[in-house]
Amino acid sequence: MTAHPPVHDHTRPGRGAQRFGAALLALTGLFTLGLVTNHPTLGARHDVQAVAVGIQALARVDRLVHGLLMLVLCLQAIGFYIFSARLGWRSPAVGAGFTAFAAGVVVMTIPATLDGFVTPDLAAACLKLSMGCSGADAGALRLVAVMIQDFTKLALTLMSAAALGWGLALVPRGGWLSRIAGVVGLVCAVLPAWVLLTSEVYLRPGNLAEIIAAQVVWTLAAAAVLLLGGGAKS
């Protein structure tokens, strides 16, 4: 009889890469929560000129927060790429999870750009006019605000779908850590989806905080799988 050597999965990241991925996931998850909770907000103002002045006053902070958010999400995608490689690309649920997350990151750049850059530029443009901001400017700002909400909801839905895919991939695997992380992924996918489906046009700050908190919990669970060596196919 001929002895066959064991087949090794050369696509699985090494321990150093897994530790790096775990650090990326944990740090970016917590940093995202910090950015969202410190998102600049504009108080209630009914006059379009006052709204434009308020937006312009927050423009620098807006650009910094949303620019950092896009950078952090790209770094988080790298962490989830390593996480997916750890679980194994042969699993359809793993591939679907990473695809959904990557799509969510791409979609999230749209509201981040609109909120952090386009809105301040619209406000600055109308304030430079000799007649000041008009009703047309108010309509443009309102349209951009609705687009920000809808694209944000789409991005968060895709990220929830990613947690669902990864959770489904983890639950059947051996080991308590994989099963617990899988259940966390499923719960952290369903709760944000429910909040998004039952929300109004504008997400309330409390609802957004709940969604982001659930996603951070899942991100930390994925980091634990990478750091403690769970998630291997049994």
- Please write the tens of the pLDDT for every residue from 30-81: 999 888 888 877 766 678 888 899 999 999 999 999 999 999 999 999 999 9
Q: Mean pLDDT score of the chain, rounded to an integer?
A: 88
Distance in Å from the first CA to the final CA of the chain: 27
Residue 150 placed within a domain: yes
3's CB contacts (< 8 A; 6+ apart) are none
Q: How big is the chain, counted in residues? A: 234
DSSP secondary structure code for residue 117 in this structure: I
Residue among 50, 83, 109, 103 nearest 218 (CA): 83
Tokens of 190: 């369903």
Total of domains in the chain: 1
CA distance 2 to 49: 82
CA distance 152 to 148: 6
CA distance 115 to 122: 11
Residue 118 has pLDDT above 70, yes or no: yes
Per-residue pLDDT at 230: 63
Mean pLDDT calculated for residue range 15-34: 94
Residue 91 placed within a domain: yes
Residue 207 placed within a domain: yes
Residue 4 placed within a domain: no
Per-residue pLDDT at 131: 80
Q: Which residues form the domain of 49?
A: 15-228
pTM over 0.75: yes
Residue 5 placed within a domain: no
Per-residue pLDDT at 159: 96
Residue 157 placed within a domain: yes
Name the E strands within 18-63.
none
pLDDT in tens, 175-186: 899 999 999 999
Mean pLDDT calculated for residue range 8-13: 64
CA distance 161 to 185: 10
Residue 8 placed within a domain: no
Mean pLDDT calculated for residue range 132-143: 88
Residue 214 placed within a domain: yes
CA distance 227 to 158: 25
Q: Are 214 and 191 in contact (CB under 8 A)?
A: yes
